[in-house]
Structure 1
């Protein structure tokens, strides 16, 4: 898996030129230009044209630029893909991917040389198909699974509280599928814009479950996501100790060593190196 940070992935409505301009100055790791939920039907064409112009203008620096297109079953999908497949974005985020056939259809429409696919996992069918979806990652160039918690909760007809308990099996299944394929897993959005305590708790939960980062709906959530999904000073210090310990000549051929009273293996070295590289 790439060592690139994806702690914070901010959805920006492609119909809002001011919001997109602001995104160039925000401290998020990923900007997702959204042609789907955030854009009204009568604004789809103009928003698509704005995305193309925005990507070509550039100016996003180190931020990864992703475009969420409309779904495969919508009248806008084909034109979305035709417009953005060759403009140099990092990935295409596709909503409501529910089957291997969906992934293969997206890959065919993007072309072999088109951008990688990020798939929204937001239907019950997608949860049941996760092993098959992740198994096609190399074939379809699927590089990320994104938890679509709002749509999934709606389809499940579950009652979500602050602990998101009804979604935990789906979230962990999404993470395991991503890990099996060696790809990225991003947590769903938090709708509680005026409740920073709840948002911080969701970030902590996402980290605990194993997500790489969180999708966001407002710039005010960026700092907390970066802090929550970024390594703490203690974690960085421990990573440095592990790397330094294995770098000693006497440990060069050892698979495991004792460090500060703990057994540390080479898998922990790999994790430490990844932490320091991000």
Structure 2
């Protein structure tokens, strides 16, 4: 069975299945920097347009098939079914061979079994979305995490945090002057990073829907990364490069990670006035190298260039 790295997701762009330009994005003719995309049949499609959207999805997959499949340098392709009943139908489409996986909306313990029965194709990877009121309960999340590990663990790339739906549970909408971390979502993200992260799941960050405040997007991305989130939903193509540039690692972190993973590294050592302990920082170091593999390294500040080069050589 193939594997997909959660760090390969980068900025994930959602596109309603009713759009006519999806094929150009899939085939890398539009948005060449995009790493992953979701063709949405759920919230982005009105009830009266569902049949049209399904027909458009079938047409999209047929066009991909007629072109010999997707290009290797194109974005990962996911489909978000409306519910488990729709997923069961899509699961049996032979053309699903051209799709990497499903995004499962509004997953909870109450519908988990329905999703398990619906998506039986072992080649379809899964990205469950946490966006129901149960998400506010850490005990419920411990239970859900254990259930996911039991039956679906090998197929789950990442868990997606549905920020707008979760705010909707509280009757709230994003404050245009602050990041999500200054709202009740700050607690939710921190809790999920601990509860689900400690069970081995990767998590992606909620969408930032305020296009007029890119400085807040960058501030929120810094906090996303500080909480260990591996990617972020993009609401607009203009956000793609900002999200993926933020996922680049610093030379300092890259060199530190390499030193920690060196087979002759001491049990504890000082690196740039910071204590490093490979036994406890091993997972952090491997995650840094994986992020660097997919997103590269941030450009060093001019004043840091000489030191960065020296550290890079030391980490070889």
The TM-score with structure 1 as length reference comes to 0.83
Kindly indicate whether the alpha-carbon contact (under 8 Å) linking 2:248 and 2:292 is maintained by their aligned counterparts in 1. no
- Alpha-carbon distance in structure 2 between the residues aligned to 1:84 and 1:35: 18
Are 1:109 and 2:118 matched, yes or no?
A: yes
Q: Deviations over 1:30-78 (max 9, x none)?
A: 1111111222223322322333443451236252211111024xx7454
The equivalent of 2:107 in structure 1 is 97
Which one of 82, 92, 97 corresponds to residue 87 of structure 1? 97
SS class of match (1:4): helix
SS class of match (1:117): strand
In proportion to residue count, which structure has more strand?
A: 1
Alpha-carbon RMSD across the aligned residues, in angstroms, is 2.7
Map of 1:1-278 to 2, 5 A cutoff? 2=5, 4-22=7-25, 24=28, 25-26=30-31, 27-55=33-61, 57=64, 58-59=70-71, 61-72=73-84, 76-83=86-93, 86-99=96-109, 101-111=110-120, 113-128=122-137, 129-138=140-149, 139-140=151-152, 141-158=155-172, 160-161=174-175, 162-164=178-180, 165-231=183-249, 235-240=250-255, 242-243=257-258, 247=262, 252=264, 254-266=266-278, 267-268=281-282, 269-278=285-294
State the 1:192 CA deviation: 0.9
Q: 1:184 to 1:147 in 2, by over 3 A?
A: same
The TM-score with structure 2 as length reference comes to 0.74
Q: 1:205 to 1:252 in 2, by over 3 A?
A: closer
Q: 1:102 to 1:254 in 2, by over 3 A?
A: same
State the 1:86 CA deviation: 4.1
